[in-house]
Amino acid sequence: MTTLLLFLLFVGLLVVGVPVAFSLSIAGVTGIFLTLGIDKALVTLPNVMYGSLNSFTLIAIPLYVLMGNIMIKGRLSDEIYNVLNRFIGHLHGGMSVVTVCFCTIFAAISGSSVATAATVGMLVLPEMLRAGYQRRFIFGLTAAGGTLGILIPPSLNFILYGALTDESVGRLFIAGIVPGSILAGIFMIYSILFAWKKGYKSDLHSTWEDRFRAGRQAFWSLFIIPIIMVGIYMGVFTATEAAGVGATYALVVSLIKRRLSAKDIIDLLLDTVKTSCMVLLIVVGAMIFGYVVTVLQLPQTIINAMVEYNVSVWQFLLGSFFLILFLGCFVECVTIMVLMVPILYPVVLHLGIDPIWFAVFLTVNMELALITPLVGLNLFVINTIVPDSKLGEDYRGVWPFLVIMCSFLLILCFFPSMATWLPTMMMGK
């Protein structure tokens, strides 16, 4: 009963407009005082708050955010988009394929879905609108492509999952490569078929000289991807250290290219601090709330109930799917991750589900939440980029991609090796 009241308090605070981090904190602090009493609560609360951030893994979050901001401010992302556009933008439906390719590459740099959708949207939406593409199609394509930002490594979601469960972040990153690449490929195939059906053609004409020139300009910008990936997978540095290396590399390249002024550096540092503080405050609030849930033994209660009612793995996964989809209508992925993983993880272990595979399942599930009407966060991001757009267009345009992602999630359940094979091969058991 206490747990239910705390959840209702959390939801009630959200409804009246209290920020997510403070809603979680208030509900969690209330629960600690109710369950432990005033004296013990005053001792426990500071320890929980300090312990929630005392993690080497979490250092990667502000570093990856910083790297993404440098790539945007230093216009390195523009160079990547330009080289993709020069090589494949002239093809039948090429601009839509460029959009998915750019989402895939930028996702591997920023690790953020919202950052990917916003950056790609600002670059491709005006051009695709001028080329005559159907508005709702390109809105849906960009919103859905942006969700690759939390699946393809480096992913902030995988970093949080690793910090909350002590699973290897490197293994989680590797697990996202094959599913992320396959999902991106499916998006590309659908985009090509849609463009072919509608007869979309590009008026872009690039010579090989133009392509090689664009390739030379973008070489050092693209080189950041193999530096991070190879460094992690070859064991040169950890995922957290890779974030520092990537941010430093992006800064050096931007300065050499004279793309950043002193004001730009100050602005991107401030943006990084704001975004990182928002994420970490949510982590603190969720960990306080999660502590109360643990004290009240909610995971054990769920496990006992599942044993009593003989709940199968498939029933658990189906219940988790609808729960995450429901929560996605109210809160963003970071909150869902830090709120639900401490509750679901013990159940996952009890049922014998591979925790690395479950991280991928959970992430794809949250990708769906990001573009599910009525409150899909990526839909609002796309809506703000084109001033005269309406959310109704975004909702209609995203439905084909929702179907694709639901189908992909089902395939992932039937073929779990899609996520587990590569980590096992590269890092062993």
- Distance set, CA 45 to CA 48, 58, 285, 292, 334 (Å): 5, 20, 11, 10, 22
CB atoms within 10 A of CB 302: 17
Instruction: Tell me what pLDDT residue 427 has.
Output: 63
255, 257, 263, 266: CA torsion to nearest 10: -40
Can you say whether residue 69 is alpha, beta or left, with left for phi > 0 and alpha for psi between -120 and 50 degrees? alpha
* CA angle centred on 224, ends 60 and 53, rounded to 5°: 0
Return the domain boundaries, the chain. Answer: 55-260+297-427
Helix axes 417-427, 169-198, angle to 10 degrees: 140
Q: Which residues of 218-252 are buried (b: 16+ CB within 10 A; e: fewer)?
A: bebbbebeebbbebbbeeebbbbbbbbbbbebbbe
CB atoms within 10 A of CB 325: 15
Helix axes 391-414, 377-385, angle to 10 degrees: 140
Instruction: Tell me what pLDDT residue 1 has.
Output: 65
Q: 204 — phi, psi (to 5°)?
A: -80, 130
| CA-wise closest residue to 157 among 27, 324, 322, 3 | 324
Asked if 246 and 110 count as a contact pair (C-beta separation under 8 A), the reply is no
From CA 42, how far away is CA 39, in angstroms rounded? 5
Q: Is 263 exposed, middle or buried (0-12, 13-18, 19+ CB in 10 A)?
A: exposed
Instruction: Tell me what pLDDT residue 82 has.
Output: 83
> Read out DSSP for 129-170?
HHTT--HHHHHHHHHHHHGGGGTSSS-HHHHHHHHHH---HH
Instruction: Tell me what pLDDT residue 413 has.
Output: 92
Instruction: Tell me what pLDDT residue 111 has.
Output: 65
Instruction: Tell me what pLDDT residue 429 has.
Output: 54
From CA 224, how far away is CA 227, in angstroms rounded? 5
Handedness of CA 249, 161, 178, 396 (dihedral sign): negative
From CA 150, how far away is CA 114, in angstroms rounded? 9
Instruction: Tell me what pLDDT residue 338 has.
Output: 79
Handedness of CA 399, 400, 401, 407 (dihedral sign): positive
Instruction: Tell me what pLDDT residue 331 has.
Output: 67
Contacts of 63 (CB under 8 A, 6+ apart): 240, 243, 244, 246, 247
Helix axes 113-130, 76-88, angle to 10 degrees: 50
* pLDDT tens, the chain, 429 aa long: 677 788 788 878 877 878 777 888 888 889 888 888 888 888 888 888 887 777 776 777 788 788 878 888 888 888 888 888 888 777 777 788 888 888 887 777 766 677 777 777 777 777 777 777 888 888 888 888 888 877 887 777 888 888 888 888 888 888 998 998 899 899 988 888 888 887 766 666 777 888 888 888 888 888 887 887 778 777 788 777 888 888 899 899 999 988 888 898 999 899 888 878 877 887 788 778 778 877 777 767 777 777 777 888 898 999 889 888 877 766 667 777 877 888 889 889 988 999 999 999 999 988 888 787 765 667 777 776 766 677 677 778 888 898 999 999 999 999 999 999 988 887 655
| CA-wise closest residue to 321 among 379, 369, 356 | 369
